[in-house]
C-alpha cells in the first residue's frame, strides 16, 4: 500500500470512530467521565412518612335466636342460613347448656355443616353459686363462643372476675329495661362494671335502654371498651318495637359511634315482634342494618 493510501485509511478510521462515539453519546452509551468517589457518612436516611390506610368498619352481625322462638333448633339453623347470616346467639331454649353429650355433639355438627358459628349465648342468670357458673363456662368452651349474655346478681361479680380470667370468656350484662332493678339504667351498668375484670362488660339491648330513658349513642360512648355485645332493636315514638330502620334510631349515627369506640363484639338482631311470622320483618331489618354499615365502612 502506498504511503498516501495509508494516510487515507487512518483518516477514515478516525472519522468513523468519531461518528460512532457521537452516536453512542446520543443513545446514552458513551463512556462516562470520571467522577469523584461518593462521600460516606454515618447519617441515616430521612424516613419517609407512611400513609395509614383509611379506617374500616364491619360488624359480626347475627341473630338472637329468641327472634325465632316459635321454631325448633333445626328450623332455626335453616332460617339463619336463609337470612344469609353466619353467626347466631342462642337463647337457652333452643340450645340448652345441660343437654346430653351426644345431643351437644350432633348440634355442633349441624351448625358446622351449615356454616354458622355461635358467637354468644344467653341470657343466663348468675348467682354466687360457682359450680353452676363453671358449668356455663365449660359449655362455652365446648361450643366455642366467647361471650355469655348475663343477668348476674351484683354479689356474683367478684366470683365471675375469677372465672372470666380463667376461661377467657366475657360476661356481657344485659339491661332489661325499667323493670330491671339492678341493670335497668345506663349508670347502673357503668358503675357496676367499672371496678371489675375487663372481661366483665355489657350486652346493650338498645330497645330496653331507650325504654329506660337512656339514648343508645350516649351509652356507647359511656361504656367504651366495656361494651361487649349488642341486642339491636328499633322503637317508634311510642316506645314499641318496630322493624329496624323504620323507628327513631339513626342507624348511621349509631354505627358511627360504634366505630369510634372500636367495637368488635357480636351484634345480634333481636326481633321480638311477629313471633309466628318473623322472617319478613327480620329481612327488612337486616337490609337496613347492612345499608347503614356500608355507608361508614
In a domain, residue 26? The reply is no
| Number of domains present in the structure of the chain | 1
Whether the predicted pLDDT of 26 surpasses 90? no
Q: 13 — phi, psi (to 5°)?
A: -60, -40
Q: Check residue 46 and give its pLDDT.
A: 64
Domain assignment of residue 41, yes or no: no
- Residue 4 inside a domain? The answer is no
Q: 106 — phi, psi (to 5°)?
A: -65, -40
Residues with Cβ within 8 Å of 20's Cβ and at least 6 positions away in sequence, in order, are none
Residue 22: pLDDT over 80:
no
- Residue 15's Cα: distance from chain center in Å? 77
CA angle 91, 224, 249 (to 5 degrees): 65
Residue 27 placed within a domain: no
CATH code of residue 208: 3.20.20.150
Range of the domain at 285: 63-296
Catalogue the E-assigned strands of the chain. 60-64, 87-90, 117-126, 147-152, 170-174, 200-205, 227-232, 234-235, 241-242, 266-269
Instruction: Flag whether 229 is in a domain.
Output: yes
Q: For residue 182, is pLDDT > 90?
A: yes
Residue 141 lies in a domain: yes
| Confidence label for 57 from pLDDT (cuts 50, 70 and 90) | confident
In a domain, 127, yes or no: yes
167-177 pLDDT, tens digit per residue, is 999 999 999 99
pLDDT in tens, 188-242: 999 999 999 999 999 999 999 999 999 999 999 999 999 999 999 999 999 999 9
Closest CA to 197 of 174, 172, 218: 172
Residue range 34-42: average pLDDT? 48
Q: Does residue 210 lie within any of the structural domains?
A: yes
pLDDT top residue among 5 and 262: 262
pLDDT above 80 for 3: no
Mean pLDDT of 43-57: 66
Distance CA 237, CA 170 (A): 34
Q: What is residue 9's predicted lDDT score, i.e. its pLDDT?
A: 42
User: In this structure, what C-alpha cell is assigned to residue 204?
Assistant: 346493650
Amino acid at each position: 500500500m502506498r504511503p498516501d493510501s495509508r494516510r487515507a485509511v487512518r483518516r477514515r478510521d478516525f472519522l468513523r470512530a468519531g461518528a460512532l462515539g457521537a452516536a453512542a453519546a446520543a443513545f446514552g452509551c458513551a463512556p462516562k467521565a470520571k467522577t469523584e468517589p461518593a462521600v460516606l457518612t454515618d447519617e441515616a436516611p430521612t424516613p419517609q412518612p407512611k400513609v395509614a390506610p383509611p379506617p374500616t368498619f364491619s360488624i359480626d352481625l347475627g341473630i338472637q335466636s329468641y327472634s325465632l322462638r316459635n321454631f325448633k333448633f333445626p328450623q332455626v339453623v335453616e332460617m339463619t342460613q336463609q337470612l344469609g347470616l353466619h353467626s347466631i346467639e342462642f337463647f337457652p331454649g333452643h340450645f340448652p347448656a345441660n343437654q346430653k353429650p351426644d345431643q351437644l355433639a350432633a348440634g355442633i355438627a349441624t351448625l358446622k355443616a351449615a356454616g354458622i358459628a355461635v358467637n354468644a349465648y344467653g341470657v343466663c342468670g348468675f348467682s354466687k353459686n360457682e359450680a353452676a357458673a363453671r358449668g356455663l363456662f365449660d359449655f362455652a368452651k365446648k361450643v366455642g363462643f366467647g361471650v355469655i349474655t348475663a343477668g348476674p346478681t351484683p354479689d356474683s361479680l367478684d366470683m365471675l372476675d375469677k372465672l372470666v380470667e380463667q376461661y377467657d370468656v366475657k360476661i356481657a350484662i344485659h339491661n332489661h329495661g325499667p323493670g330491671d332493678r339492678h341493670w335497668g339504667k345506663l349508670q347502673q351498668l357503668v358503675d357496676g362494671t367499672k371496678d371489675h375484670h375487663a372481661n366483665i362488660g355489657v350486652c346493650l339491648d338498645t330497645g330496653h335502654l331507650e325504654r329506660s330513658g337512656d339514648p343508645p349513642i350516649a351509652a356507647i360512648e359511656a361504656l367504651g371498651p366495656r361494651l361487649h355485645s349488642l341486642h339491636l332493636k328499633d322503637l317508634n315514638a311510642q316506645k314499641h318495637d318496630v322493624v329496624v330502620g323504620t323507628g327513631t334510631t339513626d342507624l348511621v349515627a349509631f354505627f358511627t359511634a360504634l366505630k369510634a369506640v372500636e367495637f368488635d363484639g357480636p351484634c345480634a338482631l333481636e326481633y321480638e315482634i311477629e313471633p309466628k311470622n318473623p322472617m319478613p320483618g327480620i329481612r327488612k331489618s337486616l337490609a337496613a342494618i347492612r345499608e347503614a354499615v356500608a355507608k361508614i365502612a
